[in-house]
Structure formats: C-alpha cells, structure tokens
Structure 1
Amino acid sequence: MSTTLLIVPPFSDLCNAAFALRREVFVYEQKVPPEEENDADDLTATHFVAIRAGDVVGTLRLLDKPEHIKIGRVAVRQASRRQGIAKAMIHAAMEHARAAGRDRFYLTAQSDKLAFYEQLGFAAFGPEFQDGGMPHRAMRSYDRDTAQLID
C-alpha cells in the first residue's frame, strides 16, 4: 500500500487529523497528560502527515530553531507501525530542512526508541530525563560519512 507524505498548514483539516492522531497515540495510548500534548510550537511548526488509503496514519513536526531543526511529535497509528512510515516521514522532513540549507537535527526520543533513531543517524547524549511521564534521551544527528556528531 502506498503512502503519501505531505506538509500541511497548522489547523488545516489534515493537520487537525494529525493532532487527533497525536492525541490517540500520546494521550490515550501512552498516557501523556493532555495539557502537555499540544503547545504554542504547533502554531509555527512545519507539520508532516503520512496518508494511506485516505487516512492520516502518521505525523511529525519540525521546529526551526537558530541552533538546529528539532524533530518532534513523531506518531504513527498503532495498526500502521513497523511499515516504514516513521522512517519515511523523518527522511522527508530532514530532506525538506536540508533543501533550506539546514543540516543540524535534534530530537528527544523515548528511551525505548533509541535504536530506531540511531538507525537514522542520531546519537544520544546527556542523561535520561522524564517527559510526558516516560523516560527520554536527547539525540542529535551525525554525519554518516565522517561518523562525527554535528554540533
């Protein structure tokens, strides 16, 4: 089944479907406090959605910070996991940022997802911390050709 990846404006119908998916994954499934799920960054973020068979099955957002691009709120509907959707979204989001001349990426990953992000060129740093009631680690991208962290 093919997946379509789109950039959608905040609070468009597709972005609202992405917000509903985030609530489904983070609030209902992972028990993140509802007040922590949406924030002011949603107004300025670049939102990506993955669509299969007419349904939003994945989403993430990019925040353009002076020091890096922050990848966040990566969510895939439970029935659509392990099908390459998150990987495709992250690759597309990073290519989008690179096309704008940005090559430093940062994210905070749930600790049980570190290996997934390591496969995508990220390395954990700093201590584990709690976010949304779950352990997380900060991660940043590294240059695969030189194996050097991009600071």
Structure 2
Amino acid sequence: MTTAILIVPPFSTLCNAAFALRREVFVWEQKVPEEEENDADDLTATHFVAIVAGEVVGTLRLIDKPEHIKIGRVAVRFSFRGQGIAKQLILVAMDHARMAGRDRFYLTAQSDKLAFYERLGFAAFGPEFQDGGMPHRAMRTYDRETAILTN
C-alpha cells in the first residue's frame, strides 16, 4: 500500500488523529502517564502524519530549537509496524528541515530502539535515563565522513 506523509497544522482534523494515535501508542500501549504525553511543544511543533488507505497510521513532530531540530513523539499504529513507516516519516521530516537550512538533529530514543535510529545516522551519547517510565538515550546526527558528532 502507498503511504502518504503530510505536514498538518496543530489541532487540525489530521493532527487530532495523530494525537489520538500517540495516546493509543504511548499512554495505552506503553503506559506513559497521560499528563506527560501532551505538552506545550505541541502548539509550536511541525507535525507530520503517515496516511495509509485514508487512515493516520504514524506520526512525529519536529521542534525547532536554536541548536538543533528535535524529533519526537514518533509513533506507528501496532498493526502497521515493520513496514518502514517510521523510517519514511523521519526521512521526510529531516528533508523538510534540511530544505529550511537545518541539518542538526536530536532525539531521545527508547533504549530498545537505538539500532533503528543508528541506521538513520544517529549516535547515542550520555547516560541512559528514564522518560515516561522507560529507559531512553539521547541521540544526535553525525557526519559519517568525518565521524564528528554534531549537536
């Protein structure tokens, strides 16, 4: 099936579907406290959705910070995992930021997802920490040619 990746405005119908998907994945499935799932960054973030057959099946957000673009709230509906949707979302979002002249990316990954992000050019740094009751590591992109980490 074809996957469409769209940028959607906060609190639009499609963005609200993305928020519902995040609640499904993070709150119901992964038991993240609901009060930690939504935050003020949702008001200013750039939200992306993945749509398959008219259904929002994946989402993420980009937060524009002076030092980097933060990728967060990456979520894919359980029945659509393993189909490359998260990878597509991340690559499209990073390309979007690069078109605006931004090329430094940061995220915090659940520790069991490190290899996924490493395949996309991220490197973990710093100690493991708890977020939403799960172990995480900070990650950032790096220049593969020179192996110099960027922040």
TM-score (norm 1): 0.99
1:1-32 deviation line (CA, Å, top 9, x unaligned): 00000000000000000000000000000000
Which consecutive unaligned segments of at least 5 residues does structure 1 have?
none
Q: How many residues align?
A: 151
Q: Secondary structure at the match of 1:74?
A: strand
The answer for the alignment partner of 1:33 in structure 2 is 33
Separation of aligned partners in 1, 2:3 and 2:83: 10
Tell me the SS of whatever aligns to 1:26: helix
CA distance in 2, matches of 1:53, 1:145: 39
Q: Distance in 2 between matches of 1:147 and 1:86?
A: 25
Q: Which residue of 2 aligns with 1:106?
A: 106
SS of the residue 2:47 aligns to: strand
Partner residue, 1:130 = 130
Query: How far apart in 1 are the matches of 2:64 and 2:8?
Result: 16
- Separation in structure 2 between the aligned mates of residue 41 and residue 51 of structure 1, nearest angstrom: 23
1:85 and 2:85 correspond: yes
Identity, % of aligned pairs?
Answer: 83
2:72 paired residue number? 72
CA RMSD of aligned residues (A): 0.6
List, as ranges, runs of 4+ consecutive aligned residues in structure 1 with deviation greater than 4 Å.
Answer: none
The one-character-per-residue Cα deviations of 1:100-143 (angstroms, maximum 9, x if unpaired) are 00000000000000000000000000000000000000000012
Question: Does residue 19 of structure 2 align to residue 19 of structure 1?
Answer: yes
